[in-house]
C-alpha cells in the first residue's frame, strides 16, 4: 500500500484530481457539474453508455475503481446499495487498501448507517478521511447542482469536502459523526413516505365523499394538515402542474427507491431498538405498491385508493 501523504483539497489555486465511481441517474450529472467547475475527473461505471457520456464531457475513463483512483486526491462514489459500497472499498482488493494516506473519500450512496460506519472505521485505520454524504433533491437537483448533502464524519474531513460538495449542491449539512448522514437521510425519507401515504389517504377520503381534490388540497394547505406533499408535490392528478402525478406518475423519485429507504429506516430502527409504528406501516404500504409500480414516482401511492389513476 502506498502511504504517501496527500493534500485532499490542494492549494488555493489547484483543484484536486477526483475519481468518481458510479454514474447512474444521480452520479452522472453530479460528475458533469464537477467537470464544468474545472475539476479533473477519472470515472468508472459498469455501463459503457454512462462512461462514454462523461468522456464526451471531458472526463477520463478508467477500467476499474482502482484505476480511477490512481493519482486522485478525492474519491466520490454514488452506488446502489451497501453491498456495492463494501465491494468497492473493503478487502485486500478494495480501494481503501490501495489509496494513499490522507485521501478524502466521499460516499454519497444511501446505505445503512452501520455499513457507512464499517467503511469509515476501516478508512480511519488506514489514515483515510471518509464521509458518508447521502443526498436529497432527485435527478433534477443533481442536474441543476442544487442537491442537499447530509454529511457524517469528522469536522476536518467535512471542511475539506465542503467546497467540492458546493459545486453539486446548495444545502450542505454536517449532521454529525460517521453514519450520521445516513441516519438523517433515512429519518427524512421515512417521514416523507409517511406524509405521502397519509396525504393520499386524506385526499381519497374527501374525493370519495364528493369533494374536489384541488379545493380540498387548498383547504388543507391553509389548515393544520399542511405539509410538503400538499405544498409542492400533490399526489392527485391535475391538482398541481409540473409534478409527477400530473404526468402519469413519471419522473421524480421512484417508488422502489422510497421502498429501499423505508427498509433502511426499519433496519436502523431494529438495530437500535427504536419503535417506528408509522414508519412500519408506510413500509408495508410501499412494499405492496412497488410490486407493480416500482418505477412510478412515489406519489403514485395515490393509486392504491383508485387504480384508475394509474391507467
The residues annotated as belonging to the active site are 185
Has residue 109 got a pLDDT over 50? yes
Pairing outcome for strands 135-136 and 147-152: antiparallel
- Tens of pLDDT, residue by residue over 18-66, are 999 999 999 999 999 999 999 999 999 999 999 999 999 999 999 999 9
**pLDDT score, position 10:** 43
Give pLDDT tens digits for 144-182: 999 999 999 999 999 999 999 999 999 999 999 999 999
Asked if pLDDT for residue 264 goes beyond 70, the answer is: yes
Under the banding of pLDDT at 50, 70 and 90, the label for residue 130 is very high
Between 139 and 30, the more confident residue is 30
The model's confidence at residue 7, banded by pLDDT at 50, 70 and 90, is very low
**Cα(228)–Cα(84) distance, rounded to whole angstroms?**
32
Query: Residue holding cell 381519497?
Result: 204
Above pLDDT 70, what percent of the chain?
96
Amino acid at each position: 500500500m502506498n502511504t504517501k501523504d496527500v493534500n485532499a483539497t490542494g492549494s488555493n489555486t489547484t483543484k484536486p484530481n477526483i475519481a468518481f465511481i458510479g454514474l447512474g441517474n444521480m452520479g452522472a450529472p453530479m460528475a458533469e457539474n464537477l467537470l464544468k467547475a474545472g475539476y479533473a475527473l477519472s470515472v468508472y461505471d459498469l455501463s459503457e453508455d454512462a462512461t462514454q457520456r462523461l468522456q464526451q464531457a471531458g472526463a477520463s475513463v478508467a477500467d476499474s475503481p482502482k484505476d480511477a483512483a490512481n493519482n486522485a486526491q478525492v474519491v466520490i462514489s454514488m452506488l446502489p446499495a451497501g453491498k456495492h459500497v463494501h465491494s468497492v472499498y473493503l478487502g485486500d482488493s478494495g480501494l481503501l487498501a490501495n489509496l494513499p494516506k490522507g485521501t478524502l473519500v466521499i460516499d454519497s450512496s444511501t446505505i445503512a448507517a452501520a455499513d457507512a460506519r464499517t467503511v469509515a472505521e476501516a478508512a480511519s485505520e488506514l489514515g483515510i478521511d471518509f464521509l458518508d454524504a447521502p443526498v436529497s433533491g432527485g435527478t433534477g437537483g443533481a442536474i441543476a447542482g442544487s442537491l442537499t448533502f447530509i454529511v457524517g464524519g469528522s469536522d476536518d474531513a467535512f471542511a475539506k469536502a465542503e467546497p467540492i460538495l458546493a459545486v453539486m449542491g446548495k444545502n450542505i449539512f454536517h449532521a454529525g459523526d460517521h453514519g450520521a448522514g445516513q441516519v438523517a437521510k433515512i429519518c427524512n425519507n421515512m417521514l416523507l413516505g409517511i406524509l405521502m401515504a397519509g396525504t393520499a389517504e386524506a385526499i381519497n377520503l374527501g374525493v370519495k365523499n364528493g369533494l374536489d381534490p384541488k379545493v380540498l388540497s387548498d383547504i388543507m394547505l391553509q389548515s393544520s394538515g399542511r405539509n410538503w406533499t400538499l405544498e409542492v408535490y400533490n399526489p392527485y392528478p391535475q391538482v398541481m402542474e409540473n409534478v409527477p402525478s400530473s404526468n402519469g406518475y413519471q419522473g421524480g423519485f421512484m417508488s422502489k427507491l422510497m421502498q429501499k429507504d423505508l427498509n433502511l429506516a426499519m433496519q436502523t430502527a431494529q438495530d437500535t431498538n427504536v419503535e417506528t409504528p408509522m414508519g412500519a406501516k408506510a413500509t408495508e404500504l410501499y412494499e405492496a405498491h412497488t410490486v407493480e409500480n416500482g418505477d412510478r414516482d412515489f406519489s403514485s401511492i395515490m393509486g392504491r385508493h383508485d387504480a384508475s389513476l394509474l391507467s
